[in-house]
Structures are given as C-alpha cells and as structure tokens.
A and B are shown apart, each in its own frame.
Chain A
Amino acid sequence: MATLFGLDYPTLWFLVIGGLFSGYAILDGFDLGAGALHLFFKKEKSRRIALNAVGPVWDGNEVWLVIGGGALFAGFPVVYASLFSGMYIPFMLFLLFLIFRAISIEFRSKEEMKWWRTMWDISYSVASIALSVLLGVVLGNVLIGIEIGPQGNFQGHWLEFLNPYALLVGVTTLALFSTHGALYLLMKTEGRLYAKLSILARRAIIFFIVTFSLVTLYTLIYIPHLTDRFKDLPWLFVVPVLAFLSIANIPRLISKRRFRDGFIFSAITMSLLLIVVAIELYPVMLLSTVDEAYNITIYNAASSEKSLGIMLTIAAIGTPLVLAYTAFVFWTFRGKVELDETSY
C-alpha cells in the first residue's frame, strides 16, 4: 500500500477531510454564531453592523463546507452515500436553513420597511441557530453510531437522529459557535454594540462550559466505545487535556478583554475537539449500532489508491491558493466595520 510521510492514503485523506471540516467550523462557526446572537442586538444600526461584519466573508466560509463535502464524496463515497441517505431529513433541513440564511443576509437591508427587516432578522437568526444545532446533531449521531445494515444502508427509523445525545451535542455546538461569533464580532465593532457583546460573550462561554461538561459526562458514562482508544494509548490523553486547557483559557481572556486572543482560542478549541473526535473514531467513520461487521471504516469506504493519489495532488496544489485568497479577503476587510453604500 502506497504511503506518504509513513501514512497510508486513506489515513491521509481522513486527515485532509478533518482539516477541511475544522476549517469550516472555525470559519462558518463565527458566521453562524454571529447569526445566532443577532436578535440580541436591538438597534437597527447594530444589526446592520453585525450583518456587515460577516457580509464579505460568509459566502467564502460556506465554500469550505462545499469543499469538505466534495472531499468526503471523493475520498470516501461509501461514507458520503450512507451518511447522507441515512440522515435524509436532517440534511434536507440543513439545506433549507442554509438557503434561508443566504437569502436573509442578501435581502434584509434591501428594503426600508420595518416588518421586512424584522422578518429577515428573525429568519437569519433562526436559520443560524438551526444550522449550528443540526451540525452538532449530525456529529452526535456519528459519535454514538447509527443503524447501518448490509450494503452500508441505514435501516433505522427516520426520527432516530433526534436522540438525546445528539441533541445535547447540537446544543453544545450552538454554544461554542455563539462564543466564537461573539468574539469575532467584538473584533469588528465599537461602542454600545461592543459593550453588549462583551456581556454576551461571557454568557455564551458559560453556556458552553455547562453543556460541554454534560456531553463529557454523558460520553464517559453511557458511550464507553468512545473512550477505548484513550485506554489503549494513554499518551493520547494529551489532546483532550489541551482541549480542556484551551476552553478554560477563553473565559480568562474574555475577562481580560483580550477578545482577539479569545477568538484564536475558540478556534483552537474547535480544532482540538475535532481531533479528539478523530482519535475516538479512527479508523471507523460510521459506526453501525447493528453489527460491528457493518462498520464503515476508512479502508472499506475509501476510493482507490489511484483516485486518492490524484486528489492529494489536487489538494496540494489547491490548498495554498485557497489559503492565499482567504487571507487576502480577510486582510482587505480588516478592522472595524464601516457602513457604506455597498454594505448589506
């Protein structure tokens, strides 16, 4: 089997996808978080500033999901097919809210009427909340395992995705995104909105710490398979310990009003938590609750070595380009938000 840096291709591609999803969580995470907090801003001007803080970047951020989805489809078609068809309704709802978020941002400020703006503000916020929760729900289901039968086909009831664990992970995701979004907005705003956000950031991080503790407890007590890896390889405990430290650092930085550093640490937290997830799952990608024999792993789901090799080349050429123009856009729109005639 071909290897690169001592890793086989399916493992490498697993890491690439992990990297893309973590990029998506960090980038769209702050858009979604800002959206989730949107209705807490009462003044019209505050809402416009909050919207324009994500205005130039949210679309580019969402592309990370498109790329991540494409990479999953390309690298592990079996996972893509089984997960998406097995969770049909949550993915359809996800599309619904994704479209609503996009059109809310797009159309909100195009008319002056108060009812028009309020309507789109509500749909923007509800869509952002729902998207955050749904992402967490899908993650929760992946962690706990789904009813996968022969040929990788889901055979459970369509409502099973709404189990308590998945919902808890959903709420936790919302809390983390809200913290992340508040910290992002703090970097982009001034005055009263800024003052309000510093309170919201504090509440959001407390909300996150509470829900995250519940998820951790639930996992430790009821889902033993997720901790086996750490029992086998105790040195891996470094990663969750770092994640805990990174989380603990966020309220410290918020109380010191070092919001930019806080934002960096909420981003680091997301990456570390996704690494914990990767460690817990690897090499399984979809755990079957029916029979271990039906587990979908990176080896029985991967595309051919030839295909993975081609795509690693594509990724190696493409990634620096993507990072370069992402950086260029963020640099162009650096600093606090100013409204002008091109704003939303």
Chain B
Amino acid sequence: MDVEILSRIQFAFTVAFHYIYPPLSIGLGLIMVALEGQYLRTGNKEYHVLAKFWTKIFALTFGIGVATGIVMEFEFGTNWATYSRYVGDVFGSALAAEGIFAFALESGFLGVLLFGWNRVSPRVHFIATLGVWLGSMFSAVWIVVANSWQQTPAGFHVVGEGLDARAEITDFWAMVFNPSSVERLVHVWLGAFLAGAFLVLSVHAYYLLRNRHVELSKKAFKIALIVATIVSLGQLVAGHASADGVAENQPAKLAALEGHFEADAPADMYLMGWVDKESQQVTGIPIPGGLSFLLHFDFNEPVTGLNAFPIEDQPPALNAIFQFYHFMVAFGMIMIALTLYASFQWWRGKLFEQRWLLWVFVFAVLLPNLANQFGWFAAEMGRQPWVVYGLLRTSDALSASVQANQVLFSLIMFFLIYALLFALFIYMLNKKIKHGPSEDQLQDHRSRHEEMAEAAGKL
C-alpha cells in the first residue's frame, strides 16, 4: 500500500478512536454540572453521591481522551507535512487558541475535580467542574472551527504557487465564523450531550433493572432524560441547518450524501438504499423530490448533482458516504422517538414500570456514539478528494520524506495500543459500573464540610 492510503487509514483510525471519548466527556460534564448544581441548590446528598460516581467515569473517558488527543496534533506534522505548511498560517491560530483557552482550563481544573472533594468547598468544587466542562466545550469550538475551515475556507488568501503555495490569514473572525462553523459546532455539541446523557440513561436503567441504587437511579435517569429529550429534538433542527449549509457550500458532498447524480434535476430523499456508482443508480426506498423539498420547500426544485462536477472533484466513496449519513439520521430519529416515548411515560407516571423500555435504554447508549462516528465519517469522506475543500487535494498534502514502511509501522503500533486501551476502557467501565455509587456516605448525614463549618463556628 502507498503512503497516502496508509496515512489516511492511520489518521482516520486514530481520530475515530479518539472521538469515542471527548463527546462522552463533554456530555458527562454537562450532567455533572447539573448534578452538582442540584446538590448546591437543594443540599440533597444524593446528588452529591451521583456527581461523585459520574466523576469517576468521567475521569476514565477524559483520561483516554487526553492520551489519544495529542496524537492528531503530531500527525499533522509527521504525516501531513505539506498540509501543515499550507494551512499553518490559518489553522495554527485556532489550534493555539484551543491549547491556551481550552486545554489549559480543563486540565488545570481537572485535578481539583478529581482529587479535590475533600480539599475545597462544594462551591469551589462546582466551579472546578464547571471549568472542566467549559474547557471541553471550548475545545470543541476551536477544533470544529479548524475543521470547518477545511470544509468551507474563509478569511484567507493564497500566496505562492505550486509546491510553495500556502494559505495566509486575512481576517481572523471571518476564519472563525466561516460559513459552516456555527451550525457544525452546534451539531457537534448536541451530539456530545446525547452521548453523555445516553450513557447515564444506560447505566441507571441497568441499576433499576437490577434493583440497585433505585432512588439514586430514578433521580439521575430523570435528569438525563430531560437532557436527552430536549437535545435530540434540538439535533433535528441543528442537523437540518447543517445539511442546508452543506447544500449551499459543498454541493458535491450533499449530492454524495443522498446519491444524487443528475446534474440539475429534482432530488429524492432515501429512507434507506444502496448506491451503485457504475450505473449511477440508487436502489432503496425514496421519497420522490424529498431532498428538493427539504432544501427549498418545493418538491420540483432542481438540486445540483454529482455529474455537475468533473470526476476528479467528486467524492470517491459514494456508497460508504450514503450509508454513514443515512445511519446517522436513522439513529437520530430513533433517539427522538425513544426519548419522547419515555417522557410521555414519565408524564403518565409509569416511566419505571416498563422493563423492556429500560432494557432498550441499556443498549441505546450505542445510538448517539455510533451516530457521532458515522456523522464524522460522512463529513470527512464527503469532503474528499480535498483536504481543504477546493484548495488542496488530500493526495498533495502528504509528507514527502516519510516512507510507506514507516507509516505501516506506526499504524500497527497504534492498532495494538488502541486495542489494549479499548480493552482497558471497557474493563474499567464495567468495574466502576458494577461497583456503583458509594451510598454509604448517605447513611452518614454529616459531611466533612458541615463538620468543619461547625468546628469553625465553635472557635
């Protein structure tokens, strides 16, 4: 295999593996902020116990996220040197801003969040939790800005030609608010909230089924269900906005998402299907004119198809893009149905009486996580053959001095470490879930802080 395909596999593999963890951390961070906020507001120790329990799981996802995150930063330089030279002037400031505003904030407060329960007051601890969560949110801002710039470059001009060409920034804010960054950021954030909320739903549904930590689990389940219901509905709006943006800014990608070939004709929308690139046929269940309607509110409005683009500018992996996109959408719809149904049952007061529903929630944690992965696969494969849309081809972005056997070595290395890492993650997650929240603290009504406050009062 050549350097290009190996480097692409390596980047895809390392970034996809990494992306299991940050969404969980962002989502769990939100839930932890809610739990600690509830504790501060109500003084109910149950929320404190829940927050402590979820912090332990958060520590696991966050730790692996940090360990695997630095890999991509290095890979820009090691595997994609031409790309780094090309985009550094523009892309670099987003990455530097991420480091200084986001990582430092989250890693700085993380120590207090994990180890500071007995060292700082609940209020300061809440601030630390908030700091870590906001840090992870900011981190998403800058990384999505950087990626969106690759999808819809703005605020730059190209200097030099051929091998010496590179993009230079002309307008920082135009780069930050490039045409796709806001809608994609919201989409990514909401996806992360769903990942966290569904993990909480899954674990507490499991406890309820096993008749363990029942009172705690009901509380946590309800908080997570509120988040999941609102966010999955919100994702419908955000996802639609994102698709509208793709239609406007990256028509070739949009055409690939729905397998729409004809250059200038009304486009169908498929509920499911199979794309045959050779015959330019999609076999499946279409809604005739559906895509036209979604974009223009008119079933007959033409949509630019793949044939409008020269073959060398079309995304090559059409069926894969189609499938990833459609599975993402389908999983989103199932999440909406599931959370609405559960909310309805809650309203009827029968939420925890249906065991089958709880079982569904135990496994539903896969939905947002797979949707997040598949969405990114569709977005990134849909951008091909470009690494920077319309400007720099992926095949031109490689490191000239790196040979295939070196990349093969590192690819095997990453495969082995990540296999180990994933096994450890699952093992530890399982162990922490089996261990569960430490309810013994609930028996002991006086917290250490109360004792300390009392002692201070006596002085």
Question: Which residues on A are within 8 Å of B, measured CB to CB?
Answer: 55-57, 59-60, 62-63, 65-67, 69-71, 73-78, 80-86, 88-89, 91-92, 94-96, 98-100, 102-103, 106-107, 110, 151-155, 158, 303-304, 306-307, 310-311, 314-315, 318-319, 321-322, 325-326, 328-329, 332-333, 340, 342-343
Stretch at the interface among B214-222, B245-253, B304-312, B409-417: B409-417
Residues of A within 8 A of B111 (CB): 55-57, 59-60, 329, 332-333
A67 close to B400 (CB less than 8 A): no
Can you list, as one digit per residue, whether each of B119-149 has a CB less than 8 Å from chain A (1) or not (0)? Answer: 1100000000001000000000000000000
B93 close to A102 (CB less than 8 A): no
Can you list, as one digit per residue, whether each of B61-83 has a CB less than 8 Å from chain A (1) or not (0)? Answer: 00110111111011011110110
Closest 5 CB pairs of A and B: A77-B88, A74-B92, A84-B77, A56-B111, A318-B100
Stretch at the interface among B165-173, B294-302, B325-333, B364-372: B165-173
A92-B409, A95-B70 known; A333 and B78 CB under 8 Å?
no
A325 close to B406 (CB less than 8 A): no
- Residues of B73-131 at the interface with A, using a CB-CB cut-off of 8 Å, are 73-74, 76-79, 81-82, 84-85, 87-93, 95-101, 103-105, 107-112, 114-120, 131
Can you list, as one digit per residue, whether each of B150-166 has a CB less than 8 Å from chain A (1) or not (0)? Answer: 00000000010001101
A218 to B245 Cα, complex, angstroms:
60
Tell me, rounded to whole Å, the shortest Cβ–Cβ distance linking B428 to chain A: 6
Among B78, B98, B101, B431, chain A packs the most CB atoms within 10 A around the CB of B78
A153 close to B93 (CB less than 8 A): no
Q: Is B399 an interface residue (CB 8 A)?
A: yes
Tell me, rounded to whole Å, the shortest Cβ–Cβ distance linking A18 to chain B: 15
B77 close to A56 (CB less than 8 A): no
Nearest-neighbor residue (CB-CB) of B63 within chain A: A106
A89 to B417 Cα, complex, angstroms:
16
B101 close to A328 (CB less than 8 A): no
A172 to B400 Cα, complex, angstroms:
32
A322 close to B115 (CB less than 8 A): no
A56 close to B99 (CB less than 8 A): no
A84 close to B78 (CB less than 8 A): yes
Residues of A within 8 A of B168 (CB): 303-304, 306-307
A83 close to B77 (CB less than 8 A): yes
Q: Is B226 an interface residue (CB 8 A)?
A: no
A310 close to B70 (CB less than 8 A): no
A74 to B98 Cα, complex, angstroms:
12
B99 close to A71 (CB less than 8 A): yes
Which of B110, B120, B417 is within 8 Å of A96, CB to CB? B417
Which of B59, B93, B170 is within 8 Å of A74, CB to CB? B93
A85 close to B66 (CB less than 8 A): no
A154 to B399 Cα, complex, angstroms:
10
A67 close to B85 (CB less than 8 A): no
B82 close to A81 (CB less than 8 A): yes
A304 close to B169 (CB less than 8 A): yes
A95 to B85 Cα, complex, angstroms:
22
A70 close to B95 (CB less than 8 A): yes
B109 close to A153 (CB less than 8 A): no
A74 close to B96 (CB less than 8 A): yes
Among A74, A76, A82, chain B packs the most CB atoms within 10 A around the CB of A74
B114 close to A110 (CB less than 8 A): no
Residues of B within 8 A of A77 (CB): 84-85, 87-89, 92, 166
Nearest-neighbor residue (CB-CB) of A318 within chain B: B100
Known: A57-B111, A66-B70. 11 other contacts (CB 8 A): A59-B66, A63-B103, A73-B96, A74-B92, A74-B96, A81-B88, A94-B74, A103-B67, A158-B403, A314-B96, A319-B100
Nearest-neighbor residue (CB-CB) of B79 within chain A: A85
Q: Is B402 an interface residue (CB 8 A)?
A: yes
B85 close to A158 (CB less than 8 A): no
| Interface of chain A, main secondary structure | helix
Q: Is B419 an interface residue (CB 8 A)?
A: no
B88 close to A74 (CB less than 8 A): yes
A333 close to B119 (CB less than 8 A): yes
Q: Is B401 an interface residue (CB 8 A)?
A: yes
A81 close to B95 (CB less than 8 A): no
Tell me, rounded to whole Å, the shortest Cβ–Cβ distance linking B126 to chain A: 15
Nearest-neighbor residue (CB-CB) of A77 within chain B: B88
A70 to B70 Cα, complex, angstroms:
10
Q: Is B421 an interface residue (CB 8 A)?
A: yes
Tell me, rounded to whole Å, the shortest Cβ–Cβ distance linking A236 to chain B: 30
Nearest-neighbor residue (CB-CB) of B88 within chain A: A77
A77-B85, A318-B104, A328-B108 known; A62 and B66 CB under 8 Å?
yes
Nearest-neighbor residue (CB-CB) of B109 within chain A: A325
Q: Is B442 an interface residue (CB 8 A)?
A: no
Residues of A within 8 A of B85 (CB): 77-78, 81, 152
A82 to B77 Cα, complex, angstroms:
7
Nearest-neighbor residue (CB-CB) of A151 within chain B: B163
Tell me, rounded to whole Å, the shortest Cβ–Cβ distance linking B19 to chain A: 16
Nearest-neighbor residue (CB-CB) of A322 within chain B: B104
A40 to B33 Cα, complex, angstroms:
41
Residues of A within 8 A of B399 (CB): 81, 85, 88, 153
Nearest-neighbor residue (CB-CB) of B438 within chain A: A341
A59-B107, A60-B108, A98-B67 known; A81 and B84 CB under 8 Å?
yes
A332 to B79 Cα, complex, angstroms:
40
B104 close to A73 (CB less than 8 A): no
A91-B77, A96-B413, A102-B66 known; A56 and B92 CB under 8 Å?
no
Q: Is B424 an interface residue (CB 8 A)?
A: yes
Nearest-neighbor residue (CB-CB) of A86 within chain B: B401
Tell me, rounded to whole Å, the shortest Cβ–Cβ distance linking A81 to chain B: 4
A89 to B411 Cα, complex, angstroms:
12
Nearest-neighbor residue (CB-CB) of A78 within chain B: B85
Residues of A within 8 A of B117 (CB): 342
Residues of A within 8 A of B76 (CB): 73, 80, 84
A81-B81, A326-B108 known; A103 and B424 CB under 8 Å?
yes
